[in-house]
Amino acid sequence: MTVKNKVVAALIQHSNTSDLEHNLEKTINGIKEAAKKGANLIVLQELHKSLYFCQTEDTNQFDLAETIPGPTSNRLSEVANELNLVIVSSLFEKRAAGLYHNTAVVFEADGSIAGMYRKMHIPDDPGFYEKFYFTPGDLGFEPISTSLGKLGVLVCWDQWFPEAARLMAMAGAEMLIYPTAIGWDPTDVDEEQQRQLDAWVIIQRSHAVANGIPVLSCNRVGHEADPSQVSEGIRFWGNSFITGPQGEILAHASDSEEELLIAELDLERSESVRRIWPYLRDRRIDHYSDLTKIYRD
């Protein structure tokens, strides 16, 4: 497999509706537009085909899940092959009766499935009741090899954990990719909303710095109502972004607009950055055994 050192990455940030076909067509149109602009790596937002259904616990929502391969993955496979590009998607996977995952699927430029990642960290917070729907992943933190390099694909809540980023980097990931669905509680004051957004950007930029590799984070935008009407729903904050290996911002989207974000990544820069900042060299793994504990009492 020939791996390219220059990658033109595109993040497709958009709002969603209850019309699944409309959402998928919007995504595919975005992929086609990105291809026209020279992109060869496409990153889609978390659960890009539907509304973010985890605001409530509703067994009917399991009907949204699909097998992999399945209808949506087959469509995206055709698009990847047609346009000769790599696609990182995010699907609600039905693995077996009663067994479901939040799964990222990577399509190679020939349309084949290069690999999958099943979300490992599953949140359970007001408006984000993911433990009701998703079984924690069992594929580990393993990069997915593609013609563009080794992709360290993680999903949303995973982005807050430095351990996940480090393990991907240690396994040879050349970039970290985070399909995401995160937003504000509309009742929070502006200052709290800004603190949350700043923390989200900072933690992911820190993964780029600590591991010396680019980070790509693709979020959705728009307000999605709470079907139970218990809350005021979620206003997804967008702000999709791409960084280089020192955490430098290469492209950054707004908090409310649908956008196609594109940036060129020079994967050879990671080598020079790691020579200057040799974190992997200086890690004291002989004193890190307590990291396997939940807490040091």
Catalytic residues: 46, 119, 156
Question: With contact defined as beta carbons under 8 Å apart, do 121 and 130 qualify?
Answer: no
What token pair was written down for 68?
């992999």
Distance CA 34, CA 90 (A): 18
Q: Which of 41, 22, 6 is nearest to 152 (CA)?
A: 41
Give Rg (Cα) of the chain.
18
CA 105 to chain CA mean position, Å: 11
91-128 burial: b if 16+ Cβ within 10 Å, else e: bbbbeeeeebbbbbbbbbbebebbbbbbbbbbbeeebb
List, in sequence order, every residue forming a beta bridge with 129; answer none if it has no partner: 124
Q: Which of 87, 99, 75, 127 is nearest to 218 (CA)?
A: 87
Distance CA 144, CA 1 (A): 13
| Burial of 58 per CB tally in 10 Å (0-12, 13-18, 19+) | middle
